[in-house]
Amino acid sequence: MLRSALASARRLAVREDGATVSPRAVPEETPVALSYAGTTHAVMMATPSDLEDFALGFSLTEGIVSSPDEIETVDVQELDLGIDMQIRLRDAANRRFEARRRRLAGPVGCGLCGIESIDEAIRAIPPIGKSSLTFMHADVTLAVRLLSQHQPLHAATGAVHAAGFYVPGDGIVAAREDVGRHNALDKLAGALARRGVDGASGAVVVTSRVSVEMVQKTAAIGAPVLLAVSAPTALAIRTAEAAGVTLVALVRGAEFDVFTHGRRIATGEPAHVA
């Protein structure tokens, strides 16, 4: 049985009225290797939960596969010091992966998800398809508020990120948590793909700052809108602009900043979820 995502730590709790020794819930963090054809491609420090979603989502957002059916099997192996996810690709996808791996100079390192060249790191993203999806002002604030209700691990520990998928009228239809913001988004991508949820039908919502990888992964999902509670980097903004993704950040209550493709954000009646 795989290790739990939740652990307990003994701590000295110092408060204004004194100090007491008591337990506190903390999230587990463990090395998770993503291996293809028996070769490790990346090792991520991650929360050991929703690992099949993680394997599928990482494979999709990193362009290793283009659809879930290109993965034949995922074998999750628990080791003494971590977890190894042995991912077996079908023939065509495996040939593409082997060709990609041969293009890398030297052994795979621990930089950007096994990427060693600048061209691979700042890869061009095909613009997402034209989307007529429009978010009301209240949809933006509601999406972030609802995501907080789908974070049981964060509620227990206060130490993990979350990524959710918000569909207007339906609310958060899927959410995943992890100590790493990229991992949470990969897990969400895998969950959406396994359920057959169309990425163009809603928005990705994240509890973290927006780095370029978060935009790249959102575009890979096919979502036209990315909502974040923290700020974006300059490269993330440029990437979202080029990819056609509406980037909304610093969502705090009823206030937020729209950085790219603001045509998808409108004002009007408050959003409601049945």
Active-site positions read 110
Coil, helix or strand at residue 42:
strand
Cβ contact 244:264 at 8 Å: no
Cβ contact 27:6 at 8 Å: yes
Please report which residue ranges of 64-211 form alpha helices under DSSP H: 91-103, 118-121, 137-147, 152-157, 181-195
Q: Residues in the chain, how many?
A: 274
Q: Using CA atoms, how far apart are residues 215 and 132, in angstroms rounded to an integer?
A: 19
- The distance in angstroms from the start CA to the end CA of the chain is 37
What DSSP line would sit under 187-214, residue for residue? HHHHHHHHHT--GGGSEEEESS-B-HHH
Question: Which pair of tokens denotes residue 69?
Answer: 């059916």
Question: Which pair of tokens denotes residue 260?
Answer: 């790219």
Instruction: Tell me the sheet residues that pair with 30.
Output: 46
Q: Using CA atoms, how far apart are residues 101 and 98, in angstroms rounded to an integer?
A: 5
Which helix (H) or strand (E) element contains residue 163? strand 161-167
Cβ contact 112:182 at 8 Å: no
